[in-house]
């Protein structure tokens, strides 16, 4: 298991794994609810749950980030603007956007429901490892190997 997140209500735990899946488990029983295979060829490094608990985002070695419905597993959006592994994903506080961090030295933001790129940050000179939104959603912080 490479990444883990909990839904805001604490009902579900989401994992990303080297077995190329993102899995949703009931937190109290450990029962597998959903196994998502939207990154079929590579490790899922990062997962996040949306503020409303309806969606999960995942980032992978296939250089993409995906958004899927938590319970049905249906793919909602795919962001494929990166040229390196997506190491981190984070939902904005309002759930409308997902931030990504990539080994390609960039971070980005895309629309949750469409996958459309909103902005790209190119200030790093080495791989970007993590992203997080400020509580008001106005800023994205990133951390990298530089």
Q: How confident is the model at residue 132 (pLDDT cuts 50, 70, 90)?
A: very high
Distance CA 94, CA 125 (A): 30
Please answer whether residues 65 and 24 qualify as being in contact, where contact means their C-beta atoms are separated by less than 8 angstroms. Answer: no
Q: How confident is the model at residue 40 (pLDDT cuts 50, 70, 90)?
A: confident
What average pLDDT score do residues 86-101 get? 97
Q: Where in the chain does DSSP place strands (E)? A: 3-6, 12-16, 22-26, 32-36, 44-49, 55-60, 65-69, 75-79, 86-91, 97-102, 107-111, 117-121, 128-133, 140-144
Instruction: Count the neighbouring beta carbons within 10 Å of the beta carbon of residue 6.
Output: 14
**Tokens 């793919």 label which residue?**
75
Question: Average model confidence (pLDDT) for the chain?
Answer: 95
Taking 90 as the threshold, does the pLDDT of residue 123 lie above it?
A: no
Taking 90 as the threshold, does the pLDDT of residue 44 lie above it?
A: yes
Taking 90 as the threshold, does the pLDDT of residue 10 lie above it?
A: yes
């Amino acid at each position: 298991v490479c990444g883990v997140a909990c839904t805001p209500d604490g009902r579900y735990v989401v994992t990303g794994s080297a077995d190329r899946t993102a899995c949703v488990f009931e937190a109290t029983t450990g029962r597998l609810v959903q196994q998502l295979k939207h990154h079929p060829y590579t490790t899922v490094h990062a997962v996040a749950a949306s503020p409303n608990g309806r969606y999960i985002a995942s980032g992978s070695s296939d250089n993409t980030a995906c958004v899927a419905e938590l319970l049905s597993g249906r793919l909602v959006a795919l962001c494929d603007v990166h040229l390196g592994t997506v190491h981190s994903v984070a939902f904005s506080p309002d759930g409308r956007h997902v931030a990504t961090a990539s080994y390609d030295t960039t971070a980005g933001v895309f629309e949750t429901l469409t996958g459309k790129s909103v902005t790209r940050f190119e200030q790093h000179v080495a791989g970007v490892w993590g992203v997080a939104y400020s509580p008001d959603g106005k800023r994205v912080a990133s951390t990298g190997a530089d």
